[in-house]
Amino acid sequence: MKDKRITITGGKGFLGKHLIRQLQGQGYQNIVVADLPEYNLVNLSNIQKMYDDLKPDIVIHLAAKVGGIGFNQENPASLFYENIMMGVQLLHEGYLRKIEKFVALGTICAYPKFTPVPFREEDLWNGYPEETNAPYGLAKKMTLVQSQAYRQQYGFNSIFLLPVNLYGPGDNFTFKSSHVIPALIRKVHLANLLSEEAYDAIIKDFLFNKETEFVIDGKKLKIDKTSSPETIQKVLKHFGISLQSVSGESPTLPSFKRSDLSSSLSSFKPSIVPASETSGLLSDPVEKTGERSSLASVVEVWGTGKATREFFYVEEAAEAIVLATERYNGSEPVNIGAGFEISIKDLVDLIVGLTGFKGQVVWDGTKPDGQPRRMLDTTKARKEFGFKARTGFREGLKKTIEWYRER
């Protein structure tokens, strides 16, 4: 199988880069990427050109338009249209060209809003997805319907994998479309820099993420090497990061030393207040004076923190995809994940501890939590192709934070 021509759609993205490394590490030689700008996979003529140019034996379809809750709320139509058009047309053209296998990546967002935990594959059709995720989740879910229909009528070999939320080095950290872990890591990192008045480092962060132009309260603002502290603070405040003037010492947090995740989370309590009690905290930008003020940073987090999520280290997701590509040829969907859940509040506590954040966390309960709970049953992945996650969550999170800090 290692001499097969493998095309990875979305191969320039977060998961795609890790998947390529995983395949190369296992001896695969003929790996090519189909991604923007060479191929717009929403466009049928581009898809046909991709197949004609690359002549794949196997297609692993990772390409997707995707984002967090805010992005989903702002872009439901484009999320539905672009994802369904990519999946339907890629699989159909693969069938017409008689490729050997099509590997489709779905999403945990396809599950019903109130699916019993842990999510089992047989529960996939027992209700409607959580509202903010529904256009994306249903669009991806239609690839499963198509996959099963084409297998039944044409004998076409395609499989459908359901990954949980991914995280790890190389993730998307942009405020526009990042998911919860990279968004929280970046917010806390910037809040730490803001409390140190490390404006050059903050500018470097925005340049690294290619986010430099903003419209805030009807005014255009730009972050570049000449930006003033006042401008930087206005932009940060727009994304829920601000400064609080304090008398005496800033709030301190207990040390975070225990290796056991559950023990660590139960013993670690950052300074957290609800958004309704922070009218004096989220004040106008603090002017930099000749004498350094005593300042503490404040980070705003959406929701109540009660929702739970499962997170899957990206390197292991890549391993699971390779194993499924090699060993699984069934029509039924298969969950791939780590098989645990953690509340968003406990996730924030953990990131606060690992980053040494000494400010305050503010919960904005007016913003949505999203799906109440998420955790996959990964029994079928172990049974069908021998995959089981091994990376501890604390370990993976620490690697992700270290990677981002080193950028």
Q: Looking at the structure, do residues 181 and 142 belong to the same domain, yes or no?
A: no
CATH of the domain at 19: 3.40.50.720
User: Where in 106-233 does DSSP place strands (E)?
Assistant: 158-163, 165-167, 213-216, 219-222
Q: Minimum mean pLDDT among 127-131, 150-154, 256-260: which range?
A: 256-260
pLDDT digits (tens, 9 = 90+) for 375-400: 999 999 999 999 999 999 999 999 99
Phi-psi region of 32 (alpha: psi -120 to 50; beta: other; left: phi over 0): beta
Contact 121, 335 (CB under 8 A): yes
Q: Which of 407, 293, 309 is nearest to 351 (CA)?
A: 309
DSSP category for residue 160: E
* Gap between the Cα atoms of 247 and 234, Å rounded: 23
* Gap between the Cα atoms of 67 and 267, Å rounded: 32
Q: What is the helix, strand, coil percentage profile of the chain, to 5?
A: 40, 15, 40
What rounded mean pLDDT belongs to the chain?
89
Q: Looking at the structure, do residues 367 and 222 belong to the same domain, yes or no?
A: yes
Q: How many domains does the chain have?
A: 2
Q: Looking at the structure, do residues 241 and 116 belong to the same domain, yes or no?
A: no
- Average pLDDT, stretch 358-367? 94
- Average pLDDT, stretch 55-70? 93
Which structure tokens are listed for 355?
């980053």
The residue from 142, 163, 184 where one domain ends is 163
Active site residues: 136
253 has a pLDDT exceeding 60: no
The residue from 129, 163, 197 where one domain ends is 163
* Gap between the Cα atoms of 82 and 43, Å rounded: 9
Could you give the 3-state DSSP secondary structure of residue 214?
A: strand
pLDDT digits (tens, 9 = 90+) for 331-356: 999 999 999 999 999 999 999 999 99
Q: Looking at the structure, do residues 133 and 188 belong to the same domain, yes or no?
A: no
Contact 203, 349 (CB under 8 A): no
Could you give the 3-state DSSP secondary structure of residue 177?
A: coil
Q: Looking at the structure, do residues 151 and 49 belong to the same domain, yes or no?
A: yes
Element holding 7 (H helix, E strand):
strand 6-9
The residue from 163, 198, 221 where one domain ends is 163
Per-residue pLDDT at 296: 87
* Gap between the Cα atoms of 33 and 105, Å rounded: 16
Rounded to 5°, the CA angle 36-76-14 comes to: 35
Range of the domain at 235: 173-307+342-371+391-407
Q: pLDDT band for 294, please (50, 70, 90 cuts).
A: low
